[in-house]
């Protein structure tokens, strides 16, 4: 099994700016030993000549320098491209200024003398962020502005990873096996793989292998000539031939009969088909995306699926996380589906109460995203609760008739605060670990903690955090 992430990706790139030659050389060596490509410069003005909207990495700059200082670098870089991550080197006395710079758009700040682990971690995340920004821009350009984030919705770490893998896999021609539970979004991922690839002008042909009778599936896939069997009066083009130049999506591949599996294996190997009742081979240019909710390797071991077909399909495997594995995305997804359903039915989106959001977060969603979308549809139509049986009894309504419902933005705001509190408690107030769990930069976490009035000291179990964290939280909050 192979990961869809490219194995020959270029090393992360850092532009390092510091007027102190010894400091510059020391940090350059540290970063190069950790696998970064580094360009070092003692003059900020000269370094900025390399900055353009397609700049491929992150910038680490000292704050106090003669001529153009670090704050000036930040201002000029943001004028060129506000999505380029700029990290600031600061002395302890400059931390308040650095926090203010974060508010103005700096990606992060690192207090001198820098802890090498902290330095490498921060720059690694910054370079990853930049790569995703550039990848997403390229994808938007490919599909006329339709961003992948608007198709595969979610801010959780699993969804960030899924989008990155889909973006990488879309540019390849390899056949792909998509694993995911019922309702997790396998067909949506398959459509994204097609729509963000060079094949998007051609057909996306979907066939559910579990929905066709065994005696019909070969005719559906391969087509037939007149007289191939009783009732075949005219030629019929099969799904595989129809997908020529595009993508063939085979859902529930585990349900395909053995005889059809044999013929599919030959198609994947030879990239040609024979219609039923014909001896003529027809070349086909297709990419196959197969989807399953079961372990095909285990099925093959039981004799329920051809082992050779499994290994032929298993060039790149892409796993979709179940909704219970990314519960942080539930409020955002529910709001999206609720707005879409209300618009479709010509209604105003209803307000969502605190109790409803708590019920959404408490539910395990065995039907995954499909179940959540259906729940939003019910609520939009006023036909029931989002999670039947989880809501409190209606005696909570006061004499004025106020149900306690709130605007969805306030409800989501409260859910965000609860998620941050839970992560801080889990990490004993450690800012770096909390940011990683939530899929946020330290900068974003600082600002969200300030917004919600959270103090990491309230969650700390032992005094093992860095002085920089203490200073940063003190000045942000």
Domain ranges of the chain: 13-138, 149-319, 323-406, 409-476
Enter the DSSP assignment of 444: H
Would you state the structure tokens that stand for residue 63, as one six-digit string?
A: 């704050």
CA atoms within 13 A on the CB side of 42: 7
Contact in structure between 222 and 238 (CB atoms under 8 Å): yes
Of 3.40.50.300, 3.90.1150.10, 3.40.50.2300, 3.30.200.20, the CATH number of 13-138 is 3.40.50.2300
314/295 Cα distance (integer angstroms): 12
242/464 Cα distance (integer angstroms): 62
90/420 Cα distance (integer angstroms): 27
Residue-level length of the chain: 477
Would you state the structure tokens that stand for residue 89, as one six-digit string?
A: 């080197």
CATH architecture of 323-406: Orthogonal Bundle (1.10)
State residue 321 phi and psi, 5-degree precision: -70, 145
Contact in structure between 84 and 38 (CB atoms under 8 Å): no
How far is residue 156 from each of residues 92, 326, 418, 419, 423, measured CA to CA in Å? 33, 6, 15, 11, 13
Q: Is the pTM of this model over 0.75?
A: no
- How much is the pLDDT for 401? 40
Q: Tokens 């397609």 belong to which residue?
A: 54
Exposure string for 397-426, b = 16+ CB within 10 A, e = fewer: eeeeeeeeebebeebbebbbbebbeebbee
- How much is the pLDDT for 9? 55
- How much is the pLDDT for 110? 86
129/145 Cα distance (integer angstroms): 20
Per-residue model confidence as pLDDT tens for the chain (477 residues): 434 433 345 788 999 999 888 888 889 998 998 889 999 999 888 888 889 888 999 999 988 888 888 888 998 998 888 889 999 888 766 777 777 788 778 888 888 888 888 889 889 888 888 887 786 666 455 444 347 887 888 888 899 899 999 998 998 888 999 999 999 999 999 999 999 999 999 999 999 988 888 778 888 888 888 877 777 778 888 899 999 999 999 999 999 989 889 989 999 999 999 888 888 899 999 999 999 999 999 999 999 999 999 999 988 899 999 999 998 888 888 888 888 888 888 877 777 777 788 888 889 999 999 999 999 998 888 887 777 655 444 333 333 344 444 556 666 777 778 788 878 877 778 888 888 888 888 878 887 888 888 887 777 654 343 333 333 333 333
Contact in structure between 372 and 333 (CB atoms under 8 Å): yes
197/3 Cα distance (integer angstroms): 18
Contact in structure between 286 and 271 (CB atoms under 8 Å): yes
- How much is the pLDDT for 298? 94
245/221 Cα distance (integer angstroms): 16
Q: Tokens 């285990």 belong to which residue?
A: 298
State residue 113 phi and psi, 5-degree precision: -70, 140
319/322 Cα distance (integer angstroms): 9
CATH architecture of 149-319: 3-Layer(aba) Sandwich (3.40)
Same fold for the domain at 149-319 and the one at 323-406?
no
370/376 Cα distance (integer angstroms): 10
> Residues near 183 by Cβ (< 8 Å), separated by ≥ 6?
367, 368, 369, 370, 371
187/190 Cα distance (integer angstroms): 5
Q: Is the backbone peptide bond immediately before 113 cis, with ω within 30 degrees of 0?
A: yes
């Amino acid at each position: 099994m192979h990961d869809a992430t490219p194995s020959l990706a270029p090393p992360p790139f850092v532009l390092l700016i510091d007027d102190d030659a010894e400091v510059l050389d020391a940090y350059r060596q540290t970063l190069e030993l950790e696998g970064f490509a580094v360009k070092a410069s003692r003059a900020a003005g000269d370094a900025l000549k390399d900055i353009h909207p397609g700049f491929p990495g992150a910038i680490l700059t000292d704050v106090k320098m003669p001529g153009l200082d670090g704050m000036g670098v930040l201002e000029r870089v943001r004028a060129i491209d506000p999505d380029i991550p700029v990290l600031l080197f600061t002395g302890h006395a400059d931390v308040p200024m650095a926090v203010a710079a974060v508010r103005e758009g700096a990606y992060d700040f690192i207090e001198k003398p820098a802890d090498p682990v902290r330095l490498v971690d921060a720059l690694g995340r910054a370079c990853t962020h930049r790569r995703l920004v550039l990848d997403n821009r390229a994808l938007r350009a490919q599909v006329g502005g339709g961003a992948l984030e608007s198709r595969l919705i979610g801010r959780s770490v699993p969804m960030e990873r899924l989008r990155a893998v889909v973006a990488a896999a879309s540019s390849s021609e390899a056949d792909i096996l998509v694993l995911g539970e019922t309702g997790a979004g396998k067909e949506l991922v398959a459509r994204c793989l097609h729509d963000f690839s060079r094949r998007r002008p051609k057909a996306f042909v979907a066939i559910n292998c579990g929905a066709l009778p065994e005696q019909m599936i070969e005719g559906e896939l391969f087509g037939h000539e007149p007289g191939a069997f009783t009732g075949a009066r005219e030629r019929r083009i099969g799904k595989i031939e129809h997908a020529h130049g595009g993508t063939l999506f085979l859902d529930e591949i585990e349900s395909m009969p053995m005889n059809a599996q044999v013929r599919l294996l030959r198609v994947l190997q030879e990239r040609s088909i024979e219609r039923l009742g014909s001896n003529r081979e027809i070349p086909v240019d297709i990419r196959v995306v197969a989807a399953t909710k079961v372990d095909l390797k285990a099925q093959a071991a039981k004799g329920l699926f051809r082992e050779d077909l499994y290994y032929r399909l298993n060039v790149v495997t892409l796993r979709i996380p179940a909704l219970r594995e990314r519960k942080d995305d539930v409020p955002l997804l529910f709001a999206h589906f609720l707005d879409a359903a209300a618009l479709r039915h010509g209604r105003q989106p209803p307000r969502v109460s605190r109790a409803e959001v708590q019920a959404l977060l408490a539910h395990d969603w065995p039907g995954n995203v499909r179940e959540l979308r259906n729940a939003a549809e019910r609520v939009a139509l006023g036909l029931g609760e989002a999670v039947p049986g989880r809501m409190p009894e209606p005696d909570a309504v006061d004499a004025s008739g106020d149900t306690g419902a709130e605007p969805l933005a306030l409800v989501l705001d409260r859910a965000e605060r609860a998620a941050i509190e839970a992560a801080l408690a889990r990490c004993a107030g450690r800012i770096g670990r909390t940011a990683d769990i939530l899929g946020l930069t330290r900068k974003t976490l600082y600002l969200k903690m300030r917004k919600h009035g959270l103090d990491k000291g309230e969650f700390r179990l032992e005094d093992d955090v860095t002085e920089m964290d203490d200073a940063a939280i003190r000045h942000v909050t």
